[in-house]
Amino acid sequence: MLFVALPDLPSCARASSGNDETSTRQGTFDIRMFRLRTITVNDITIGYRCFGDGPPLILINGFCSTMDMWNPRILKNLSMHYRVIIFDNRGTGYSSAPNVPFSIALFASDTIALLDALGISGAYCIGLSMGTYIAQEIALHRPDLVSKLILVSGDCGGKECERMGSDILEKLSDETGTPAIRAERMFSILFPQSWLQTHDPWEYCPEVYETIPEETFSAQMAAIGVWEGTCRQLPGLKAMTLVISGTDDVVVPAKNSLILAGLIPGAWLVQFRGGGHGFMYQFPDECTALVLFFLGLDL
């Protein structure tokens, strides 16, 4: 296991301002510039977008997230080197969901079906939070599809992982209040308080226009709750893997990245000092540089 801890960099330690070059919304890369496409697989319709040129790189969303929640700066820079594929998991955004129980295995099956339908026989894969569960299942059960694997703010599930505190779960589960109030509540658990004191998260997070039905929240939560995890299977994972986390993550505690990297043969581990669960918004340029370096290695 290769371990690196990245410190806060000066460019990310300033308070946001109208001309702050590190803020996400300056020079916005709007995914709506690219055609929304739909495809029917596994008895559902999946909404997705493709942009950029190069080897395929698929990004798998986290819990109750839509494809417009990915950091635009990161998407823009990745698309300069790769054919980026982003999509909505079933029951979110532009993707439908029949009345059947959700499961991590089902999400993985949907993603595999999407890749197969697009004629992609192998891709680089980035999973974020719950998306790391899906990515692990794909890499373990369809290793031919995953050229390299990047697990961001994730864990291996099961009894071996370290769970969030009950106070964090309570905030995450709270759907009361106006959209602005709910967003502020999410910011309070996505980012460390020390960072929030000097940064305006609204300047670092993208504008979200897709919607998620209320029933999807409980359905995804149930899927996570019954997932048995991959800890016992990870020693057999073949894909070259990079594990990334923020040292101050309270949603998926950083200890989980140590567990993941310790179980996956030859895995790299990088932790962003001062990073929360949303560290990809805090450090977009540093994250992009790391991902491009890892994917560009020919080992």
Look at the block and give the residue holding tokens 């140590």.
Answer: 258
**Average pLDDT per consecutive 10 residues, the chain (299 residues; last block may be shorter):** 49 32 59 95 96 97 94 95 97 94 97 97 97 98 97 93 86 80 90 95 91 91 94 96 97 95 96 96 96 85
Q: What is the CATH number of the domain that holds 23?
A: 3.40.50.1820
Count how many domains the chain has.
1
- Residue 296, classified by CB atoms within 10 Å of its CB into exposed (0-12), middle (13-18) or buried (19+), is exposed
What pLDDT is recorded for position 26?
Answer: 43
* pLDDT computed for residue 28 by the predictor: 75
Whole domain around residue 207: which residue ranges?
2-296
By DSSP bridging, strand 37-41 and strand 2-6 are unpaired
Tokens 């918004």, located at residue: 281
Select from 288, 289, 281, 287 the least CA-distant residue to 16: 281
* pTM of the entire predicted model: 0.90
Report whether 263 contacts 233 (CB < 8 A): no
Q: What is the pLDDT of residue 13?
A: 26
Task: Give the tokens for residue 137.
Answer: 């299942």
* Residue pair 136/235 in contact by the 8 Å Cβ criterion: no
pLDDT value, residue 160: 87
Cα gap 238→236, rounded to integer Å: 6
Q: What is the pLDDT of residue 220?
A: 94
Q: What is the pLDDT of residue 182?
A: 85
Distance, CA of 53 to chain centre: 21
